[in-house]
A and B are shown apart, each in its own frame.
Chain A
Amino acid sequence: MHSSHRCLSPAIWLFAAVFVGSGCRATQGFHQPEYTPTATVKDLMEGLVDPSADVVWDSVKTVVSASGVNDSAPHTPEEWASVRLGALRLAEATNLLIVPGRHVARPHEKSVAPGVELEPEEIETLITNDRETWNKLAHGLQDASLAAVKAIDAKDVETLFNVGEQIEVACENCHSHYWYPNEKIPAVSPTAPPAGQ
């Protein structure tokens, strides 16, 4: 091994030095990852979190039809694989949510219900000022998603059904904290004038 090194030409040594040098930089970069988040939190919710949660949520259900009450759950390997990918997408989406530097929405996007929903910049301030809570709530959704993966791997329909509800609760915990924290405050009385007028 040692003798073969001596056979290397200077050009190869130079190439090796450059390669090792670039490798060192890559290693340094690994310790200090630079993310380039492009999608907004809203994009992730609409494009990844919500559709993936629906896959898990809808995988086990009871349907009432003219033929009676029927339970519906994944049966074929393809159906199990599909719901597993949904749960994995949801779990990984929570990692994307906590990537630093991600904006909540695009600059022109505004709340559809000011006063009840926070404006995107207000949500972003809440997140920025308390990353710990944001990360904790995202991890709550991740825990529920991974519980779904576990239930799917065990082909445990009952647990998968229950986990769907855990996912729902995890979503709502976050929404009620960041998206519409004011809705618990009565905005109107029974005799109040029409809203939005």
Chain B
Amino acid sequence: MNLRHRPIALAVATMCVMSSHTAAAAAAVGTVKGRVRLNGTPPGNPVIRMRVDPMCAKINKGKLVVEEMVMASKDGGLANVFVTLHGAFPRTPIPADTVVIDQHDCLYAPRMVGARVGQTLVVRNSDPLLHNVHSLSSGSNSFNIGQPLAGLENRFQLKGAEILRLKCDVHRWMTAYVGVVDHPYFAVTGNDGTFEITNVPVGTQKLHIWHERYGDLEQSVRVIPGATPPVTFAYTGAEKAP
């Protein structure tokens, strides 16, 4: 090779290498889709005794409000299941956007959310009455703070991975869960029990699910570039509550 052409050749070669790396990176992830089912007859959900707080009773007058512990569709799809990968993954930036849970009509909504360690959880009171936010942490996410007015928000930076339960000490039925993980590979099942996790590193991954009534299940999933074959989890309904 002529020495005068060497820099150009080097640049072209570098570009080719970069290009192939980018292509490899793009190809090195897949999407995991699936569904969580509950076999058998769902147990039903207890009606909330709003009368304990006359204000809550007034807000919900005429409604039969239930504790949404087991929300299953007619064909068995189970909602509010936290789905996440288990394992060690390269660090990725913490999302700047917040995860919001609303105290609305004397309930937490949504009941199950996912969040990253380091991400900010916002809990808002939309009711014109006293609520509090009391986290039952098994790790470093402890807080308990009053929210006596409508419009008040409290912000909590999540510090450790766990399934974090939130309650309101004033209204014992108010419950929400935050699945806190240290990577971006998680989802919460929708009303039909389906979920989707994008940009999952290819290879064999451990996919883990958690439900407040039925607990944990796990299976290995071979993630391939693009769309991985759908994954199905099924609770028998006989599992012990976590």
In angstroms, Cα B120 to Cα A5, docked, is: 86
Contact B152 A188 (CB under 8 A): yes
Contact B130 A197 (CB under 8 A): no
Contact A184 B148 (CB under 8 A): yes
**Neighbouring A residues of B45 by C-beta, 8 Å:** 63-65
Contact B44 A190 (CB under 8 A): no
Contact A185 B52 (CB under 8 A): no
1/0 contact string of B132-151 vs chain A (CB within 8 Å) = 10110100001111101101
In angstroms, Cα B145 to Cα A180, docked, is: 9
Please name the residue on chain A nearest to B137 by beta carbon.
A112
Contact A116 B145 (CB under 8 A): yes
Asked whether A14 is an interface residue with its Cβ less than 8 Å from the other chain, the reply is: no
1/0 contact string of A142-176 vs chain B (CB within 8 Å) = 00000000000000000000001100110010010
Contact A190 B152 (CB under 8 A): yes
Contact A193 B155 (CB under 8 A): yes
**Neighbouring A residues of B218 by C-beta, 8 Å:** none
Please name the residue on chain A nearest to B172 by beta carbon.
A168
In angstroms, Cα B172 to Cα A164, docked, is: 12
In angstroms, Cα B149 to Cα A190, docked, is: 10
Asked whether B51 is an interface residue with its Cβ less than 8 Å from the other chain, the reply is: yes
| A 46-103 contacts with B by CB, 8 A | 58, 61-67, 69-70
In angstroms, Cα B169 to Cα A69, docked, is: 27
1/0 contact string of B110-142 vs chain A (CB within 8 Å) = 000000000010000000001010110100001
Question: Assuming the A-B contacts A61-B47, A66-B42, A186-B152, are A112 and B52 also in contact, with contact meaning beta carbons closer than 8 angstroms in the complex?
Answer: no
Least Cβ–Cβ distance between A13 and chain B, in angstroms: 64
Contact B157 A187 (CB under 8 A): no
Please name the residue on chain A nearest to B170 by beta carbon.
A172
Asked whether A135 is an interface residue with its Cβ less than 8 Å from the other chain, the reply is: no
Question: Assuming the A-B contacts A66-B44, A184-B130, A186-B152, are A164 and B49 also in contact, with contact meaning beta carbons closer than 8 angstroms in the complex?
Answer: yes
